[in-house]
Amino acid sequence: MSVSANDNSAKVSVRGFLAKYSVLIAFAVIVILFAVASPTFLTPANLFNVLVNNVVMLAIVALGLTIVISSGGIDLSVGVSVDMASMIFVMLLAAGYGGVVGVAGGLGAALIVGILNAILITRLNISPFLATLGVLFIGQSTQQLATSGGQPIYLTSGYAADQFNAIARTALFGIPTPVLVLIVLVIAVHVLLHRSVFGRYVQAMGAQPGVAWYSGIRVPRELSMVHVLCALLAGVTGILLSSTVKSYVPLSGNAFLLDAIGATFIGTTLSRERKPSVIGTLLGVLLLAIVKNGLLLVGWNFYWQQVGIGVLVFLVLAASFGLRRAAH
């Protein structure tokens, strides 16, 4: 009797282990597969390229979404924050202002999006899903109206392109500036979400909104903070984006939305309670970035890459959720 019971629990814990680490295992397997299939995959130059071009911007947006999803909400308007920051940043530079004013203006634009979300959600009691969906629509219109239907704004060398280059194309201690920005933000958000009182409040609101309210947490204030932070982080991505491509392309921020949501939720498979975490989100972003890059190196065309990513994410989720269900 007792032997079989032990046997069972051992089996269960193996399954639990597999469920918990399925993302990590998938990650390792994928890296090995690509390393075997493509000689360039594991070279420092390629990994560096993946980090700068595929990881940094998505990761920063995903950090913001991690905070929002931890609080039990969602932000569908992160693309708008990216775009508005990018738009104001580029417009200010094009008008001859310096880099500092540009960055401040860009972040200010994202801040306004965040405050708008916060007011709609905490003052008008609109569900985060609908509030941010509405802001998404309004943001799209605003951009179309501001750019006569979606004309990109290019920064040619005639403008203040020197300060412009200063952000995306410089390095400190040999580390490119965007990567440095990411490192700082990862540490900051990790501390904020997992080591601070604010983080406790956010987690409490996500787990038990009613209880959080009754235990004296100022839910509206903390929730406003959550949405403002998310918009600001997306704004940082907007500035990095336009300083990388030297232009503002209207409605381009939305491309981050689904990937960032995907990365955050892939990250939740690391925790038993399916809570989002900064580490998990980073892992999700890395997984998506590595797969995109690997499929490209193996020679799959762009169209098949999308199928490949979909199938892969599906399999990882199936493994994690399915194994955990079996373990219970």
Q: 131 or 223, CB closer to another protein?
A: 131
CA-to-CA separations, 24 to 34, 58, 286, in angstroms, rounded: 15, 19, 11
Which of 47, 138, 180, 255 contacts another protein by CB under 8 A? 138
- What is the distance between the alpha carbons of residues 20 and 14, in angstroms, rounded to a whole number? 10
Is-contact 283 266, C-beta < 8 A? yes
DSSP 279-319: HHHHHHHHHHHHHHHHHHHHT--HHHHHHHHHHHHHHHHHH
Residue 58: CB minimum distance to another protein, A: 15
Both structure tokens of 135: 């802001």
Q: Check binding of 124 to another protein (CB under 8 A).
A: yes
Instruction: Please list, in sequence order, all residues whose beta carbon lies within 8 angstroms of the beta carbon of residue 249, skipping any fewer than 6 positions away.
Output: 152
Q: Check binding of 214 to another protein (CB under 8 A).
A: no
Q: Check binding of 235 to another protein (CB under 8 A).
A: no
CA-to-CA separations, 223 to 67, 117, 188, 203, in angstroms, rounded: 10, 10, 18, 11
| Lookup result for tokens 């409605």 | 251
Q: Check binding of 135 to another protein (CB under 8 A).
A: yes
Sole window of 47-55, 105-113, 217-225, 306-314 interacting with another protein (rule: CB under 8 A):
306-314
Q: Check binding of 255 to another protein (CB under 8 A).
A: no
Which of 64, 73, 105, 294 contacts another protein by CB under 8 A? 73
Q: Check binding of 127 to another protein (CB under 8 A).
A: yes
Both structure tokens of 216: 């004296």
Helix (H), strand (E) at residue 182: helix 177-194
Sole window of 49-57, 88-96, 118-126, 179-187 interacting with another protein (rule: CB under 8 A):
118-126
Sole window of 32-40, 57-65, 215-223, 317-325 interacting with another protein (rule: CB under 8 A):
317-325
Q: Check binding of 58 to another protein (CB under 8 A).
A: no
Binding site for another protein (CB under 8 A): 69, 72-74, 120, 124-131, 133-138, 140-142, 144-145, 149, 258, 261-262, 265, 302-311, 313-314, 317-318, 321-322, 324-325
